[in-house]
Structure 1
């Protein structure tokens, strides 16, 4: 069983990049996390350290703010993909575009490091554990606009089904565009109609092979 980290080690874990799990700390701190099975040292230069699945579980177990009206709360102190419908969405513009691009590239690197055969064409374990955030990042990184207060844009929501999210869009054309983006990002998606409301939506899940 993995031993629980010390207070100092927990601070390093909490400060990890919210998407890739990349760590920053002294060599002694990083070494101790590796020995506890909470981090690993990447074999390729620059030999950065990243959280293992056990390290991610400890990080995710930290208390979080309550979500806003049906939308997950942004990750505190770090990047958060826009799922649509946030009351206080991150500012748009060039800075946001750079953040989204950097987060997507980091996620591709995480796929390369953790998927069998270094495959980057399908989601990794982190994405399967954070379905809503992962699908939203794929959409935002491809240039789709998340829903604002007027509701015009995509919305990604959790579903009762295992490894599946629901994606809503303003019209059929936008829904088809979201389907194409998610499929290029390694997801499988199909369009459905809610029986009572007749609202069209996508049911999307990470592709395994």
Structure 2
């Protein structure tokens, strides 16, 4: 059974050279990966560390979609991440809420930028990645999964500042990636090597 790395160890693994599997990290991080059987220390100088086959399997695996985050029960607006147990149709009231939330987010971007631009995500978005990406998608008219709908699902990932977007329809997935790009995110489609499932990995752009 492949050991499960910590979030910090996962970041070191994901930063490995895609061809050689050479790792970069602190001595403590590399030693911990060796103990877990996810890396080995080359016997010849300069004694670099490389991923083992188990480490490669972890690096190549896509982020697994966890359970949907529960919507807050306080009445505060929350973007739909997809997969909620109850997802009523997007009526006029919901559309107004989404539009207002998106305009508020753009205003927050403007207020936190010296030049007043709204093209890049702000600090709030970087600390609420799933909700921020879901709001961008819902505000653009995409339909979240739920109630039998084959829509999008936004999920957290082990990678820093990155979310994964899943959708069964390739056209929906491509449209979600394009929307996030327009909203100031970096987005690319990837394929899980074993299942061939497609997903979008997205992170807020910094410049």
Same fold? TM cut 0.5:
yes
Q: Which has the larger radius of gyration?
A: 2
> Aligned ranges for residues 1-209 of structure 1 at < 5 Å?
70-75=67-72, 76-89=74-87, 91-150=89-148, 152-209=150-207
Runs of 4+ in 1 over 3 A off after TM superposition: none
Q: Which has the higher contact order (CA 8 A, sep 6+)?
A: 2
Q: TM-score, normalised by structure 2?
A: 0.65
Query: What is the TM-score when the length of structure 1 is the normalising length?
Result: 0.64
Residue-pair matches, total:
141
Question: How well do the aligned residues superpose, as a CA RMSD in angstroms?
Answer: 1.4
Structure 2: stretches of 5+ with no match in the other structure:
1-65
The offset of 1:175, in angstroms, is 1.2
1:42-69: CA deviation from partner (whole Å, max 9, x where unpaired): xxxxxxxxxxxxxxxxxxxxxxxxxxx7
Aligned-partner Cα distance in 1 for 2:114–2:182: 19
- In structure 2, relative to structure 1, the CA distance for the partners of 1:152 and 1:207 (3 Å cut) is same
Checking the alignment, whether the CA contact within 8 Å between 1:153 and 1:169 is kept in structure 2 is yes
Report the Cα offset of residue 170 of structure 1. Answer: 2.1
- Is the 8 Å Cα contact of residues 121 and 205 (structure 2) preserved in structure 1? yes
Q: Is the 8 A contact 2:86 2:146 kept in 1?
A: no
Cα shift at 1:88: 1.9
